[in-house]
Structure 1
Amino acid sequence: MIPRWTRTLAILSLLAGCATPQPAPYRLTIAHLNDVHSHLDAEPITLPLRDADGTRRPVSLSHGGFARAASAIAAIRAAEPNVLALHAGDALTGDLYFNLNDGRADAALMNTVCFDAMTLGNHEFDHGDGGLKRFLDALGEGPCHTPVLSANVRFGPDSPLNPTTAPGAVQPATVLTRGGQRIGVIGLTVADKTQHASRPDPGTTFADEATSAQTQIDRLRAQGVDKIVLLSHLGYEREQALATALDGVDVIVGGDSHTLLGPATLADRALTPAGPYPTVAHDSHGRTVCVVQAWQYAYAVGELTVDFDAAGNVLRCGGQPWLLLGDDPHRNGQPVSDADRAAILADLAASGALRVIAPDARTEAVLAPYRTAREAFGAKVVARAAEDLCLRRVPGTRLDPSRSTLGDACDRLPRVIAHGGDVQQRVADAFLRQGRRFGGADIALVNGGGVRVDLPQGEIRVRDVYALLPFRNTLVRLTLSGAEIKATLEDALAPVLDPAIRSSGGYPYAAGLRWHVDLNQPRGARFARLEIEREGQWQPLDPAAQYQLIVSDFLADGGDRYATLATIRGARRIDIGLDYAEAFLAYLQALPDAMLTPPDDGDYSTWGVVDLR
């Protein structure tokens, strides 16, 4: 007689043999880019890397460049079967490549990659809806026909991009197929920032981001699309919060905040990441959401891998960023030794993110005529930087900790943490000097986000100035009271501290005015000890006195939520008409020995700061 347990095992074995095998997880790979800002050329970077004796020493290499990004995306496509190439916005504005040809160079290079979708960033609207349409027309001239997305833009009735005039030019979402699976991709544009810190046409508005995204998620899922990618330009912090507010999103590929994500090993190489790549969040029902971003300026390409089960649920978020470097390590202008080179390349490989990769030759060929025109215009040396002049929007350590293109050399510099950006302060100084030349001025005010790059130690060329100040702004003189000046400062700081907005670009920098700021106080009590400079002496700002203020026309029109300035009209507003980049060029050319230095501690407008707790 066969024992019962033996018969039971036999039956279970038979049933196991008849069971339907479970399908293997479906893997989607996303190669992504964001916030290129017309930085199409490679740029130098210096990193502490291990040489042959194991010591970390500064090594310079080329990094980034759109042709290198194109090469990375091509490599990812060649290695993986189900790949989407996505652009998370702000392709435009930030370099002479844009200023010279209204984005045609950007469009031409994007057409060498053929992105599967792009979302609109705030800077796509910097020259109005007409400027955006010119870029989209140029993008459409190529072979790619990249879908351009934004679920929350509402083009005004007179906009050249209104759907009645340009049907399909911008869509809320698109559905792409890879490996027999349909993937919904939804575009999202940061609403408040674009409305108030860019220049969309009158009548063009931006709906609530979460509501717009959820509407499209529901629509796509009703069509049977069970894999949803949100291609977002909201910023890393807000995109994590957005994930928790939505039901049914699987992936958020982000932009706007220029956030470096990656392994902790990058900190050893003076590139401290703001979080892991990928960052894992959860939607409103607790389901896994993969959140990624790929730094800035074509310095990096993200490679996200997402495993889905048969029901379309995310099983795993994986992948890594590719921080793109050249095979050209050197010190003091000279190539390193063969032994040091081998050790340096090994250290790069050990980082888990730093990748040596050659530029794509076809992309370089497309860029060549634009580069020739840019170099001819921008090659003139106008000054020298005595040392690095660092970019930082908000002082302290909480709200803007990784803005600098120079990495920890600036991001962790004590004076930058204490006072904010050197370059923003010097731009304010330049505006004040030019304002005094053209009719008089007491104070100049600059929004931190209007200044775009660091100025590294060494030669400053015309092209660097236009990369620093890439917008088509002119200077305006306003007459206003001390009380209105304080109200303006409070206007500027409010969106920086509002958790629902967190737009750092409005943080104020001034020349001729300084203050202490407490980031923990309520609106109206954040600025104290406001002092104005008079003939080399600092004295309290008089709320009742009248002062002449120099600002860009963008701020004078209320941009970046500088609402008080928008009320200054009539005889109290004089449009000087001087191009703001030209004002900084003139400032540099007038410097003693044409040498630019960081401000002294007492010359920063943020004289003291209590960091956000």
Structure 2
Amino acid sequence: MKKKMLLLFLTTLILCTLPPANTSARTKEVSFTIIHTNDTHSHLEQMPRLITVINSIRAEHKNTLLLNAGDVFIGTLYFSQFKGLASIPFMNKLKYDAMTFGNHEFDLKSVTLADFIKRADFPFVSSNIDFSADQLLEPLFVRKITANPQPGKIYPAIIKKVDDELVGIFGLTTEETPLISQPNQDLIFEDALIMAKKTAAQLEHLGVNKIIALSHLGFEEDQKLAPIVKGIDIIVGGHSHTKLEEPTVIYNGKDPVLIVQTGENAAYVGELSVSFDENGMIKKWNGSLLDVQAKDSKGNYKYEEDAWAKKQLSEADQELVELLQETVGYSLIPLNGAREDVRREETNLGNLIADSILKKANEVVPTQIAFQNSGGIRASIPEGKVVMRDVMAALPFSNTLSIVDITGLQLKEILEHSVSQLNGNTGQFLQVSGIRFTFNPQLPTGKRVQSVRVNDGGHYELLNPSKIYTAAVNSYLAGGGEGYDIFKRKKVNENIIETPFLDYEMLADYLKEHSPVAPRTEGRIQEVFTNEEL
């Protein structure tokens, strides 16, 4: 019923200020340029030159739209300290036309996202999230497709007038957000394909025949969407961090659909120039990525730093200086947090983090095991003096410690999920403390874990499926993040102990107490190619 009511609102409550569609045949092409960013992940250090890049594109083209496909949140110390609000002045200065939500916009619940939205001087588009039961976000959601969007509000779609023509823009967010982020439970992430079809049809019904999907679904899903959703002309994508040097073209019947995406971390700005015929079909296009840090043959930066942005960044940096420069320890060796390693194998930094979690948990209650999802480890730590900047770069999400009782059988289930996808693209692979286990990657998913041994007073004992073990996890995993639904099951969830201890503070405290450190990989997680009995 809730979905039907939402669709009814989207279909019927259209602003009376919507301009009439221009249905007369045109004698000239309709052309404009889309400037796009995605998955910038709070990399504000790029902003001084990124602003120059965007301003240079605008100077070259008369008609432009500036769009963001989500995941402004999470990824650097700027987010850890300012919770997204440090990005707002830069985005407001750039005058974005619209942004959709990435999964990471929900990492710190609705309270942080609502504050971000209220401070924005631009609108947001979201067609497949039902905000109606969320007390903080529902007041910001306007159940209307409008040609007069207001800043700091969320719409299912908006209509922009470009070169005297109507251009529709609607937003899509991955349905996996409840699995990989921590949205409020009152939010409903609806089927993206169904809502894309319905929203595009509503825009066409309003006389709009140039439609942009602002998508945080990932490149693979965008490619599935393009040939089956009637009306979409362009997909400005995000989520998969795919660097598309030029548009990917997929045909929906005879109509080309262009898919663009810029990669990650504000390293590139996308530029897509398109020309439509009078029927709203794309006839010409030219798309590319502009390297924000590009240099000429002499090694000079191609784009100067914007003076205002440089000053703004300096002010943000000053607030971080004292915190970031605090020495927390010393490492005798490099600590490996490289994405391609932590997401598929044991690393020394993974071990150190898991050990710090286990130590802090034992100060609360006796605890045998600790897990750290590899997706939460975002940087390596160099050999030598370790400062808070290094720690917070490695653990930028500010997750808190949770403690839970699980059975041996549930522990094996958790480990099976950990090794179910070993392509390096997912963050569910666990770094561990207090256990040693082996797995055979050649076996079917769900049957890969071969042996599990749990530390019992210094001796590793074979897993007892019926025994109760106490495990320490971060709040992200405790909420079911990375697909660990087991922690959301009633019998598990009802006994979770939540604490205020932050992950980066636990690691910093551990380094202060144990430095100098020189953690090694020690066979906590081993690949085997023979079957063993549990």
Q: Say whether residues 1:585 and 2:504 are aligned partners.
A: no
Q: Say whether residues 1:430 and 2:356 are aligned partners.
A: yes
Contact 2:31 2:274 in 1 (8 A): yes
Distance 1:455 1:554 in 2: 22
Structure 2 residue aligned with 1:153: 129
Distance 1:604 1:133 in 2: 41
Q: Say whether residues 1:109 and 2:85 are aligned partners.
A: no
SS in 1 for 2:274: strand
Structure 2 residue aligned with 1:245: 228
> CA offsets per residue over residues 189-240 of structure 1, 9 Å max, x none?
1122x22332322321111111111111111112221111111111222222
Pairwise CA distance, 1:372: 0.9
Structure 2 residue aligned with 1:222: 205
Distance 1:306 1:146 in 2: 23
Structure 2 residue aligned with 1:370: 316
Of 522, 536, 546, the residue aligned with 2:468 is 546
Decide which moves more: 210-219 or 568-577.
Answer: 568-577
Structure 2 residue aligned with 1:76: 57
Contact 1:515 1:608 in 2 (8 A): no
Distance 2:166 2:382 in 1: 46
Name the larger-Rg structure. Answer: 1
Of 475, 491, 494, the residue aligned with 2:401 is 475
Of 249, 261, 278, the residue aligned with 1:293 is 261
Q: Aligned runs of 1:182-331 on 2, under 5 Å?
A: 182-192=166-176, 194-262=177-245, 277-283=246-252, 285=253, 287-325=255-293
Contact 2:343 2:422 in 1 (8 A): no
Pairwise CA distance, 1:357: 1.8
RMSD of aligned Cα (Å): 3.3
Letter of the 1:68 counterpart:
R
Of 410, 429, 435, the residue aligned with 1:507 is 429
- What is the TM-score when the length of structure 1 is the normalising length? 0.73
Pairwise CA distance, 1:149: 1.0
Letter of the 2:525 counterpart:
S
Contact 2:342 2:374 in 1 (8 A): no
Distance 1:519 1:182 in 2: 52
Contact 2:342 2:377 in 1 (8 A): no
Letter of the 1:359 counterpart:
E
Q: Aligned runs of 1:133-152 on 2, under 5 Å?
A: 133-139=114-120, 145-152=121-128
Decide which moves more: 215-224 or 151-160.
Answer: 151-160
- What is the TM-score when the length of structure 2 is the normalising length? 0.83
Report % sequence identity: 30
C-alpha distance 423-30 of structure 1, shift in aligned 2 (>3 A):
farther
C-alpha distance 287-608 of structure 1, shift in aligned 2 (>3 A):
farther
Pairwise CA distance, 1:475: 1.2
Contact 1:159 1:204 in 2 (8 A): no
SS in 1 for 2:470: strand
Q: Say whether residues 1:180 and 2:164 are aligned partners.
A: yes
Distance 1:609 1:281 in 2: 41
Distance 1:162 1:418 in 2: 39
SS in 1 for 2:262: coil
Structure 1 residue aligned with 2:525: 605
C-alpha distance 609-100 of structure 1, shift in aligned 2 (>3 A):
farther
Distance 1:304 1:549 in 2: 49
Distance 1:160 1:191 in 2: 20
Structure 1 residue aligned with 2:138: 162
Contact 1:156 1:201 in 2 (8 A): no
C-alpha distance 166-416 of structure 1, shift in aligned 2 (>3 A):
closer
Distance 1:126 1:417 in 2: 20
C-alpha distance 359-459 of structure 1, shift in aligned 2 (>3 A):
farther
Distance 1:459 1:326 in 2: 32
Pairwise CA distance, 1:38: 1.8
> CA offsets per residue over residues 512-536 of structure 1, 9 Å max, x none?
3344455675553233333445566
Q: Say whether residues 1:573 and 2:496 are aligned partners.
A: yes
Distance 2:376 2:356 in 1: 14
Q: Structure 1 regions of 5+ residues with no counterpart? A: 1-20, 42-64, 140-144, 263-276, 328-340, 346-354, 393-410
Contact 2:344 2:422 in 1 (8 A): no
Distance 1:117 1:146 in 2: 6
Contact 1:491 1:564 in 2 (8 A): no
C-alpha distance 150-453 of structure 1, shift in aligned 2 (>3 A):
farther
C-alpha distance 76-565 of structure 1, shift in aligned 2 (>3 A):
same
Distance 2:220 2:38 in 1: 16
Contact 1:443 1:510 in 2 (8 A): yes
Q: Structure 2 regions of 5+ residues with no counterpart? A: 1-24, 144-149
Contact 1:156 1:202 in 2 (8 A): no
Decide which moves more: 109-118 or 91-100.
Answer: 91-100
Letter of the 1:452 counterpart:
R
Pairwise CA distance, 1:70: 1.3
Distance 1:123 1:428 in 2: 23
Distance 1:416 1:491 in 2: 15
C-alpha distance 497-455 of structure 1, shift in aligned 2 (>3 A):
closer
Distance 2:324 2:63 in 1: 42
Q: Say whether residues 1:390 and 2:310 are aligned partners.
A: no
Pairwise CA distance, 1:164: 8.0
Structure 2 residue aligned with 1:558: 480
Pairwise CA distance, 1:76: 0.9
Distance 2:488 2:107 in 1: 18
Distance 1:443 1:177 in 2: 58
Distance 2:408 2:30 in 1: 62
Q: Aligned runs of 1:438-457 on 2, under 5 Å?
A: 438-455=364-381
Q: Aligned runs of 1:46-65 on 2, under 5 Å?
A: 65=46
Distance 2:328 2:398 in 1: 20
Distance 2:141 2:225 in 1: 32
Structure 1 residue aligned with 2:4: none
Contact 1:94 1:468 in 2 (8 A): no
Letter of the 1:278 counterpart:
P
Structure 2 residue aligned with 1:87: 68
> CA offsets per residue over residues 32-52 of structure 1, 9 Å max, x none?
1112222212xxxxxxxxxxx
Contact 1:493 1:507 in 2 (8 A): yes
Contact 1:391 1:422 in 2 (8 A): no
Pairwise CA distance, 1:174: 1.1
